[in-house]
Homo-oligomer: A and B are copies of this chain.
Amino acid sequence: MKEESIEILVSNDDGFRAQGIRELTEALRPLGNVTVVAPDGPRSGASAAITSTLPIKLKLRHREEGVTIYSCTGTPADCVKLALNTIFKERKPDLLVTGVNHGNNAGICVIYSGTVGAAMEGCVSDVPSLAVSLDDHSEICDMSHATAYAARVSRMILQNGLPHDTMLSMNVPQGKPLGLRVCMVTDGRFVDEFMTSEDARGNAVYWMTGRQINKGTVEGDLELMRAGYVTLSPIKLNMTSRRYLPELERLINEGI
């Protein structure tokens, strides 16, 4: 089954030692050669952040037949950017898969997630990219369904490609999924966002917490994942609101 000519780049935001990326790597091995370039430690919530004022480094961690693992001192997006500019300078990978993230990235998490941010960076460079997230924050959890669906969708991407500047984001529920559903990203937001506490000197400190709600009218990835489905949503890199362009132009032309 293994196609020697297929090259797959793998990254994440939980760091190269996380269970999610280790099991994802094993699941993708039958599809091609896997190169992991992932942060040297946790970078949850890193979004598409990049490191522009400090130098970053790559470190070879492991090499065996079909799998090579590097750690990087930068953000998830840095990892992908640097991999594409060094290891894959001569030939782009055929596929980028990020994750499996420990925690879902449904709804508004798309903009906060380092796992999605890393996949966006692949998309910037026209590498077909998939972000995979499991709705379980535990460091040790059952990744088997997430990695099976990730491999299945990876095969589809390798066969069919993806449209220009479009990536996929997959969210996997806990337990055995009811099936795979293509859907919108939920218009979500977090509420009860901070827990207030004190530091050792009595100063107020704020810990991020909260839960996501759907603030729109469309049932999207958040609801379907919570209902037990694996969700798959296409994400467009260009965030321009084409719908509002003419109205904004009219307002500006009226001489605000």
Contacts and interface: CB of A to CB of B under 8 A. Distances in A.
Interface of A: 42, 44-53, 55-58, 77-78, 81-82, 85-86, 108, 110-112, 114, 117, 120, 124-126, 152-153, 155-156, 159-160, 162-166, 168, 180, 182-185, 187, 189-190, 193-194, 197, 199, 203-208, 215-216, 220, 232-245, 247-249, 251-252, 256
Given A124-B189, A236-B244, 6 more contacts: A50-B112, A55-B207, A166-B244, A184-B242, A234-B244, A235-B239
A82 B206 contact: yes
A19 to B, nearest CB: 17
A28 B246 CA distance: 27
Contacts of A163: 241, 243-244, 247
B239 A57 contact: no
A127 to B, nearest CB: 11
B208 A51 contact: yes
Contact of A55 (B48, B152, B206, B235): B206
A249 B86 CA distance: 35
Contacts of A82: 194, 206
Given A47-B47, A156-B256, A56 B206 contact: yes
18 contacts: A42-B53, A45-B49, A45-B53, A46-B49, A47-B50, A50-B208, A55-B207, A56-B205, A78-B208, A82-B206, A111-B120, A155-B256, A162-B244, A166-B241, A184-B242, A185-B238, A234-B248, A239-B239
A162 B241 CA distance: 12
Nearest to A43: B49
B110 A124 contact: no
Contacts of A160: 251
B48 A44 contact: no
Contact of A112 (B48, B56, B166): B48
A203 B252 CA distance: 53
